[in-house]
């Protein structure tokens, strides 16, 4: 449901990002694994492919290998491994930069520049990763010595040959506006009338990717109160919701419900774009159009289910910066290239990048 994501869009204008991903030895085994068919569509959201019969999740294991074994974001050899497993027409949409990087050559240049920027002073830690086969997403944190800093989320999609064909990455904003976001949205959308609701068919999906599709495609244009009531039935009593426009996380359905109600504004259109095919956890990309503004704000969301109850236990939303490269994000990385923030915290003090 779009209201949960409205808060992610504003004041991202002051912020920025960089993030994680590749391997030859993994690529050698891709031919032995069944492929799942799915293509990304921008006019209409890409539906998640059906689950693969194989136990190995190609996208998830490839990303783990690239980051944790090959060190693709911190070593030149790892950067080359990343480029080697990219498709010839790969698109890297690092939302820290104004334009995407296209093709294997630009992918290699991009990764080598990321390695050089870190100055061998950091690592990338995977905090959570969805169990997708054709595509996956992961939440990450920059670490350096006994400190940790910048967090963010990355979405990765493979082609039918198991090569990386699309990557989108967004970091948390350095400045988190909190309740100012609500005030700005109220001002921008003042005078807009809500659109007529669109009927939907109630379902009870249990795969994470299908839950996300139901909440953000089927319920997207439903009557607001009815849609919110339906939405809340999918949240676990112990849900943790991390919205990177706020310093603190939301805990429990009561706080999540208040959050949803606070950001119920007409004049804002949420558009899901790409979904992975995760079972217990899922990642998807989206954009939001505000009022009559010609440009949209892109974002990524990560949802995790309790494996037993199949209710949502964790959410992470992150919006892109409207200014690219973001001013504060650039200053922070220049000051602390291994951490990307002005004030790092002790390593391990934020479990799962909380």
pTM of the prediction?
0.85
Question: Per-residue pLDDT tens for 296-333?
Answer: 899 999 999 999 999 999 999 999 988 999 999 999 99
pLDDT given for residue 180 in this prediction:
80
CATH topology of domain 1-183+201-354: Nuclear Transport Factor 2; Chain: A, (3.10.450)
Residues 6+ apart with CB under 8 A from 181: 7, 9, 10, 11, 245
pLDDT given for residue 43 in this prediction:
39
Using CA atoms, how far residue 329 sits from 187, 228, 274, in Å, is 27, 34, 26
For the chain, domain boundaries:
1-183+201-354
The whole-number average pLDDT for the span 285-292 is 88
Provide, for the chain, the percentages of residues in helix, strand and coil under a 3-state DSSP scheme, each rounded to the nearest 5: 30, 25, 45
Q: How far is CA 304 from the centre of its chain?
A: 12
Radius of gyration of the chain (CA): 19
pLDDT given for residue 1 in this prediction:
52
Q: Give the count of beta carbons closer than 10 Å to the beta carbon of residue 70.
A: 25
Q: How far apart are CA 276 and CA 289, in angstroms?
A: 22
Q: How far apart are CA 336 and CA 49, in angstroms?
A: 41
Question: Per-residue pLDDT tens for 2-26?
Answer: 444 444 444 443 443 322 222 333 3
């Amino acid at each position: 449901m779009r209201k949960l994501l409205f808060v992610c869009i504003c004041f991202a204008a002051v912020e920025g990002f960089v993030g994680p991903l590749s391997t030859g030895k993994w690529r050698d085994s891709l031919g032995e694994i069944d492929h799942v068919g799915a293509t990304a569509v921008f006019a209409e959201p890409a539906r998640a492919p059906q689950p693969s019969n194989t136990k190995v999740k190609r996208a998830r294991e490839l990303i783990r290998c690239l980051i944790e074994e090959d060190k693709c974001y911190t070593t030149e050899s790892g950067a080359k491994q990343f480029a080697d497993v990219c498709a010839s027409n790969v698109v890297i949409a690092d939302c820290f930069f104004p334009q995407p990087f296209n093709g294997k050559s630009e992918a290699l240049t991009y990764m080598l520049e990321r390695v050089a920027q870190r100055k061998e002073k950091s690592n990338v830690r995977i905090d959570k990763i969805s169990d997708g086969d054709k595509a996956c997403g992961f939440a990450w944190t920059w670490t350096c010595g006994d400190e940790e800093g910048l967090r963010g989320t990355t979405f990765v999609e493979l082609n039918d040959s198991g090569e990386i064909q699309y990557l989108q990455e967004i970091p948390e904003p350095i400045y988190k506006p909190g309740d100012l976001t609500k005030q700005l949205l109220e001002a921008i959308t003042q005078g807009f009338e809500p659109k007529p609701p669109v009927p939907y068919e109630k379902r009870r999906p249990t795969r994470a990717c299908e839950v996300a599709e139901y909440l953000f495609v089927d319920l997207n244009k439903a009557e607001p109160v009815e849609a919110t009531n339906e939405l809340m039935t999918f949240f676990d009593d112990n849900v943790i919701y991390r919205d990177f426009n706020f310093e603190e996380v939301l805990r429990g359905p009561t706080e999540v419900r208040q959050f949803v109600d606070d950001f119920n504004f007409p004049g804002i259109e949420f558009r899901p774009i790409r979904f992975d095919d995760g079972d217990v956890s899922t990642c998807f990309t989206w954009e939001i159009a505000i009022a009559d503004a010609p440009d949209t704000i892109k974002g990524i969301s990560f949802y995790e289910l309790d494996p037993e109850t199949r209710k949502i236990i964790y959410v992470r939303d992150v919006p892109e910066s409207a200014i690219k490269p973001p001013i504060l994000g650039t200053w922070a990385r220049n000051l602390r290239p291994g951490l990307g923030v002005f004030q790092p915290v002790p390593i391990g003090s934020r479990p799962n990048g909380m």
